[in-house]
Structure 1
Amino acid sequence: MSRPVSFELQHQSKDCGARAGILHTPHGDIKTPVFMPVGTKATVKTMTPEELKDLGAQIILGNTYHLFLRPGMDIMEKAGGLHKFMHWDKPILTDSGGFQVFSLAKPQDMTEEGVTFSSHIDGSLQHISPEVSIQVQQVLGSDIMMAFDECVFYEADWAYTEASMERTLRWLDRCMEAHTHSNQALFGIVQGGFFEDLRDRSLRETTARDLDGYAIGGISVGEPHADFTRILNYTAPKLPEDKPRYNMGIGSPDYLFESVQAGIDMADCVLPTRVARNGLAMTHRGKVTVRNAAYKEDFGPLDPDCDCYTCQNYTRAYIRHLLNVNEILGARLLTIHNLHFLISLMEQMREAIFDDRFIAFKEDFLRAYGEE
């Protein structure tokens, strides 16, 4: 039986594990490695779908938890799914809601059945189980669904992490049982915290399920950079070579480079849109806090090395003015730039992979960015 999503490996850089490929989905092909903008509530904040396409976005994310609460599944079903509802005809990946549960629920709220927690909107009690998560994602109609899992805190001890990891595996089996839409892919999530023996067990058991793709969960949750790279480099190369590999919640240039170098194909994060709303731009010469007084009379482009719409048409002084008078255009212009910056960065990584010079590109870029 053909899979709804398949991965075609095209080239691996001769200097490391970085790889370029094509992810085939029902709503189009995706060139990897790819950065995926996050549209948590059925929109990438301040952006239209047409603008996202102009930036080169190939796939975006929606979130099960938030869409489950608002607008709710009755509306989503009547709308014909998330693609039609938000006027986006390219691929969509939906997060299972597991990370929001991690953020909102207490350990005692989690049972074998699922998780009960208070809505962040009105405080009402809500319940999400593996079955509910899959049912919601099937109504949303995403190309890629994520299995419902528990993401543990960095500080969690071995015993708690082991119990959580084992429960995530049991929940995965329930997700697979509930998955009935053959046109939607299901990705499993490797957990195990920061314990290599638990990562091994989760890897072995999760990949034994022969899913459409695999994600690394439970890193970039506040741990030191050394622990992030240790678990990333321990886990990513052991994922199946013929399936897409996804590192969840990664959006800073240094973490994207580390991920791709380790063999990751897909990454997402709210970072570029969130920091844009706070007045920060990612540029080829480092981070720029545009609100700062230093840019009050700076009539140069946001990033002299960028060809995005914002940098071609607006100055730092003007964007600073917009931000300081709370005009929404300021956040929009910074969002356009930051998304273009990361999407283009992944395209440049892809070129460097084909040229077998990924490490050199990484070192040159991060030196200029100030992250070396």
Structure 2
Amino acid sequence: MSNLLVTHTDGSARSGQLHLRSATVETPLFIPVATRGIVRYVPSELVADLGFQVLLSNTYHLMLRPGAELIATMGGLNAFTGFRGASLTDSGGFQIMSLGAKITDEGARFRNVYDGSWVTLTPEDAMTTQEQIGADIAMALDVCTQLPSPEAVLRQNLMLTGQWAERSRAAHTDDTQQLFGIVQGGVDSELRKQSTATITAIGFDGYAIGGLAVGESRENTLEAVRTVVEGLPAERPRYLMGVGDPYLLAHATALGVDMFDCVAPTRIARHGTALTNQGPLRVKGLANRGVDEPLELDCNCRVCQRVSRGLLHHLAHVDTESAGTLLSLHNLAFQFRLITRLRRSIREGTIKALLVDIDKVWGTPVIRSGSHAD
């Protein structure tokens, strides 16, 4: 039985409902990143109040602190974090790349970021940990490759990703938890096709497109997405990992992607940048000093309803944590508004017109995507 009900299409774009253990969620959807169980600076209830239905947490960090066993004893990830919705845990594959792990056929070995001890992560470990954590969606362990990389490296990591996907599938025992496989292959079309065929042959509840927005151009990102989507089953959700750039998010939706996540909206907020319909806004700029207007006149988020740009400018200079909290709330509201507009445009058959509008503002890259930990 399919876990995804597609109710509307516009070209390759589609919207519908994804049925998870804890909730039925609207697609396409954007997933905020709560690396250690909470979005940095933003309480879970405020994230839920914005309308988000799923949070992403990081398996690598949670298994180290506080530990999967502790989370299990407290009722699982949703109960532990207090989030009113569903949850997704990544497998730790991104940390294999970002932390310079020593990779073998068996798994990956890298340093614990908290105490420096050696940590080993195998596909079986990743499944056991994610089942203990109790997320609604677990990810198979993969090998993410920094781009550009030599073809020999891409092929080796592709082979391991396929082998680890089979082991992840075999080790996964919780029938109520959905398991997604991850397609790799860099920006090489043939390798992407090969990985897509391998992962779909194993059979998963959903399929993620990994290893993108890690150094390649936007054009190469979208071409890789197009190649993979063509080989994925229509009745399963498609998840583009680590992408939050409004341009990429919109164009990937038009190609048929259903799910996205990214740390960028909150990360750039902590560095003083707001996302607006006119593009990015640096609140530290002198032009915002003493301005008694919101970040956006047409934004209904609690920040724009209560806080002036003048105050945000002041806080960005003297209290960066408070500024980061307020800007994070606004940027999450912007991201939710964007995905809602995309969803509505699919239902109304107007996604091409919306892409034109988005291209006018976001045609130049301003957000660096590609990270699953914050």
SS in 1 for 2:41: coil
Letter in 1 for 2:26: K
2 CA distance for matches of 1:352 and 1:20?
Answer: 10
Distance in 2, Cα, partners of 1:125 & 1:100: 14
Larger mean CA deviation between 212-221 and 42-51 belongs to: 42-51
Q: Which amino acid aligns with 2:67?
A: G
Question: Quick check: 2:72–2:132 contact (8 Å CA) kept in 1?
Answer: yes
1:9 maps to 6
Q: Which residue of 2 aligns with 1:221?
A: 214
Quote the residue 2:236 is aligned against: 243
2:328 aligned with 1:331: no
| Equivalent residue in structure 2 for 1:193, among 186, 207, 218 | 186
2:84 and 2:177 map into 1 onto residues whose CA distance is 15
Q: Which residue of 1 aligns with 2:65?
A: 70
| Matching residue of 1:85 | 80
**Structure 2, gaps ≥5 residues long:** 366-374
Confirm whether residue 61 of structure 1 aligns to residue 56 of structure 2.
Answer: yes
CA contact (8 A) 1:152 1:193 kept: yes
Asked if 2 retains the 8 angstrom alpha-carbon contact of 1:237 and 1:263, the reply is no
- Deviation of 1:371 after TM superposition, in Å, equals 4.2
Per-residue deviation at 1:250?
Answer: 0.5
Identify unmatched segments of 5+ residues in structure 1. Answer: none
Deviation of 1:208 after TM superposition, in Å, equals 1.1
- Code of the residue aligned with 1:220 in structure 2: it is A
Q: What does residue 27 of structure 1 align with?
A: 22
Report % sequence identity. 38
Q: How does 1:95-174 map to 2 (within 5 A)?
A: 95-106=90-101, 109-174=102-167
What residue number does 2:294 align with?
301
Distance in 2 separating the partners of 1:370 and 1:94? 31
Q: Deviations over 1:252-299 (max 9, x none)?
A: 101101210110000000011101111100000110010112211221
SS in 2 for 1:305: coil
Residue 372 of structure 2 corresponds to which residue in structure 1? none
Contact 1:285 1:370 (8 Å CA) reproduced: no
* Aligned-CA RMSD value: 1.4
Q: Does 1:256 align with 2:249?
A: yes
Residues in 1 aligned to 2:5 and 2:69: alpha-carbon distance in whole angstroms: 37
Deviation of the 1:329 alpha carbon: 2.3
Corresponding residue for residue 177 of structure 2: 184
Q: In structure 2, what residue type is equivalent to 1:77?
A: A
The residue aligned with 1:359 is 352
Output the amino acid matched with 1:12: T
Aligned partners of 2:127, 2:348: CA distance in 1, in Å?
Answer: 40
Question: Residue deviations 1:301-332, cap 9 Å, x none?
Answer: 11122111111111111011112112532111
Partner Cα distance (2:192, 2:285) in 1: 43
Deviation at 1:237, TM superposition (A): 2.9
Maintained 8 Å contact 2:239/2:260: yes
The one-letter amino acid of 1:254's match is Y
Are residue 287 (structure 1) and residue 285 (structure 2) matched? no
**Counterpart for residue 35 of structure 2:** 40
> 1:368, CA displacement in angstroms?
4.0
| Partners of 2:203 and 2:248 in 1: CA distance | 28
Q: Does the 8 Å contact 2:147/2:215 carry over to 1?
A: yes
Change (3 A) 1:177 1:263: same
Larger CA deviation: 119-128 vs 249-258: 119-128
Cα deviation digits, residues 186-233 of structure 1 (max 9, x gap): 000011112111111111111112210000011111112221122122
TM-score, length basis structure 1: 0.95
Segments of 4+ moved more than 3 angstroms: 368-372
Is the deviation greater in 142-151 or in 152-161? 152-161
* Matched AA of 2:38: T
Q: Is the 8 A contact 2:293 2:309 kept in 1?
A: yes
Within 2, Cα distance between the matches of 1:167 and 1:136?
20
* Structure 1 Cα separation of the partners of residues 193 and 363 of structure 2: 34
State the SS of the aligned residue for 1:201: helix
Q: Letter of the 1:10 partner, please give it.
A: T
Tell me how far apart the structure 2 counterparts of residues 330 and 154 of structure 1 sit (CA, whole Å).
33
Q: Contact 1:134–1:145 (CA<8 Å) still a contact in 2?
A: yes
Q: Tell me the amino acid that sits aligned with residue 24 of structure 1.
A: H
Once the two structures are TM-superposed, the CA of residue 77 in structure 1 deviates from its matched residue by 2.4
1-structure distance, mates of 2:45, 2:187: 40
Moved more, 324-333 or 313-322: 324-333
CA distance in 1, matches of 2:251, 2:159: 28
Q: Aligned equivalents of 1:257 and 1:237: distance in 2?
A: 18
Amino acid at match of 2:64: L
Could you tell me which of 226, 248, 254 is aligned with 1:233?
A: 226
Amino acid in structure 2 at the alignment position of 1:105: G
